[in-house]
Amino acid sequence: MYMDTMSMLFKQMIDDGVDPDIFALNSMIKGYVLSLHLNDALRIYHQMGVVYNCRPNSFTFDYLIHGLCAQGRTCNARKICDQMKEKGFVPSSKSYNSLVSSFALEGEVDQAVSYLWEMTENNRLADYITYWTVLDKCCKHRRCGDAMSLLKKLQEKKIVDGQIYKKLQYELQVNYKDFRFV
């Protein structure tokens, strides 16, 4: 509803010769992402340097990554993340959580774990749901041993605290009766 108004104002701004800055472009991208018009958001992103002579910043990439993951377009999200890193930016915790969860939900558990470790190396924190999603999908793909090893490594490296560790362990034992910690 609001995006129609924003789009008209943006077009009027351009028609009046006002060059949009990064804040205006990011507002458009965020609006398109929130209204689930990802192709329009990507169009603005691709026009940033060519049409508007403006470089994307970390917010630009974060909005796109989160939106693409929310729509299950993880291949596109991975490309945007790679472009983000090429530009010297580090994805936010929200972007990493989106990537890790999306890859796990698509069954690409190894890719999810890879992003999880990259996330911790970049001092970004995963949330409980992200940890649970990865561990749950490991078990659903008959890789409970991998889930157990991952959870232990996360605790050993003090990435998850004792309370979260116990809660995740409990959830795994309740949901997967054969799941045992040695």
The rounded percent of the chain whose pLDDT value lies above 90 is 76
Q: What is the pLDDT of residues 23-76, one digit of tens each?
A: 999 999 999 999 999 999 999 999 999 999 999 999 999 999 999 999 999 999
What does the alpha-carbon distance between residue 44 and residue 116 come to, in Å, rounded to a whole number?
29
- Is it the case that residue 82 has pLDDT exceeding 80? yes
Q: Which of 164, 88, 94, 97 has its CA nearest to residue 133? A: 97
Structural domains present in the chain: 2-126 (1.25.40.10)
Most confident of the following: 90-99, 154-163, 173-182: 90-99
Q: What size, in residues, is the chain?
A: 182
- Is it the case that residue 182 has pLDDT exceeding 80? no
Most confident of the following: 7-11, 49-53, 94-98: 94-98
Q: Would you place residue 138 in the very low, low, confident or very high pLDDT band (cuts 50, 70, 90)? A: very high
What does the alpha-carbon distance between residue 102 and residue 86 come to, in Å, rounded to a whole number?
22
What does the alpha-carbon distance between residue 20 and residue 65 come to, in Å, rounded to a whole number?
22
What does the alpha-carbon distance between residue 93 and residue 176 come to, in Å, rounded to a whole number?
29
Q: Would you place residue 131 in the very low, low, confident or very high pLDDT band (cuts 50, 70, 90)? A: very high
Instruction: Please report the pLDDT score of residue 179 as a whole number.
Output: 61
pTM: 0.88
Mean pLDDT lowest among 34-38, 142-146, 168-172: 142-146
DSSP secondary structure letters along the chain: -HHHHHHHHHHHHHHTTPPP-HHHHHHHHHHHHHTT-HHHHHHHHHHTTTTS-----HHHHHHHHHHHHHTT-HHHHHHHHHHHHHTT----HHHHHHHHHHHHHTT-HHHHHHHHHHHHHTT-PPPHHHHHHHHHHHHHTT-HHHHHHHHHHHHHTTSS-HHHHHHHHHHHHHH-TT----
What does the alpha-carbon distance between residue 47 and residue 51 come to, in Å, rounded to a whole number?
5
Q: Would you place residue 129 in the very low, low, confident or very high pLDDT band (cuts 50, 70, 90)? A: very high
What mean pLDDT is predicted for residues 9-35? 92
Q: Would you place residue 159 in the very low, low, confident or very high pLDDT band (cuts 50, 70, 90)? A: very high
Within 8 A by CB and 6+ apart from 65, the residues are 77, 80, 81, 84, 91, 95, 98, 99
- Is it the case that residue 9 has pLDDT exceeding 60? yes
What mean pLDDT is predicted for residues 156-173? 91
